[in-house]
């Protein structure tokens, strides 16, 4: 069964959706799932160095106080998945293109699930700047990936172009938010419950 999982690495709902998808597919031991992690950029025009978190919240929500109810709800939902978000530790909103390059690089070694989870953890739980190449190299090193090779991948213009090439694809599909799942010919939008994902899979098999 083919699943395309559209997500961004600074999307908390995507971290929650990632956890719920893993739980859902673990219920089907006899099905072979082919999961493609499709890079989605919530802020494609973000400066490569990122911006101060408070400045970002002012620009996007008109101030941290306006964003707080949404973040409180997201944090409580994360706790149901045993994910202890520490959003107060986040000091910068990063550009995510290099984190997507790392995920694509890790596919060659079938480590994309572990890498993606570590990127999410670094950002939402540890408050690290996942736009920082050195942070991404640390994550890669922890899973024994060749960081010299990865450093070369970060320097290649074509890798940036490849990630950006997905923008018109999801725009043409009318996908404006993530997480978003394509499960064979069915779609799920948002961080649906594990039970809802299971129901969609069952409707296909």
* CA distance readout (Å), 143 to 14, 89, 112, 139, 198: 22, 24, 11, 7, 30
Whether pTM > 0.95 for this model: the answer is yes
Q: How many residues does the chain have?
A: 205
Contact 5, 37 (CB under 8 A): yes
pLDDT digits (tens), the chain, 205 positions: 999 999 999 999 999 999 999 999 999 999 999 999 999 999 999 999 999 999 999 999 999 999 999 999 999 999 999 999 999 999 999 999 999 999 999 999 999 999 999 999 999 999 999 999 999 999 999 999 999 999 999 999 999 999 999 999 999 999 999 999 999 999 999 999 999 999 999 999 8
Strand-pairing partners, residue 7, are 39
Within 13 Å and on the Cβ side, how many CA atoms surround 155? 6
What is the gyration radius of the CA atoms in the chain, in angstroms? 17
Contacts (Cβ under 8 Å, ≥6 apart) of 164: 41, 44, 97
* d(C-alpha 85, C-alpha 200), whole Å: 28
**Closest by alpha carbon to 138, among 129, 94, 41?**
129
């Amino acid at each position: 069964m083919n699943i395309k999982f559209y997500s961004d690495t600074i999307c908390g709902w995507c971290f929650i959706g990632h956890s719920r998808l893993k739980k859902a597919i673990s219920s089907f031991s006899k099905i072979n799932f082919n999961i493609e992690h499709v890079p989605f950029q919530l802020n494609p025009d973000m400066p490569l160095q990122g911006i101060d978190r408070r400045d970002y919240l002012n620009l996007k929500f008109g101030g941290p106080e306006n964003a707080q109810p949404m973040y409180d709800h997201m944090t409580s939902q994360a706790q149901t998945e045993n994910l202890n978000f520490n959003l107060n530790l986040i000091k910068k909103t990063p550009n995510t293109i290099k984190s997507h390059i790392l995920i694509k690089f890790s596919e060659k070694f079938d480590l994309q699930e572990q890498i993606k989870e570590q990127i999410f953890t670094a950002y939402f739980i540890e408050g690290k700047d996942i736009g920082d190449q050195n942070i991404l190299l640390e994550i890669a090193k922890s899973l024994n990936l060749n960081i010299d090779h990865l450093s070369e991948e970060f320097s290649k213009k074509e890798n940036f172009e490849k990630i950006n090439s997905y923008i018109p694809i999801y725009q043409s599909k009318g996908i404006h938010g993530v997480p978003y799942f394509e499960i064979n010919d069915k779609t799920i939008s948002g961080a649906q419950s594990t039970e809802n994902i299971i129901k969609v899979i069952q409707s296909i098999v």
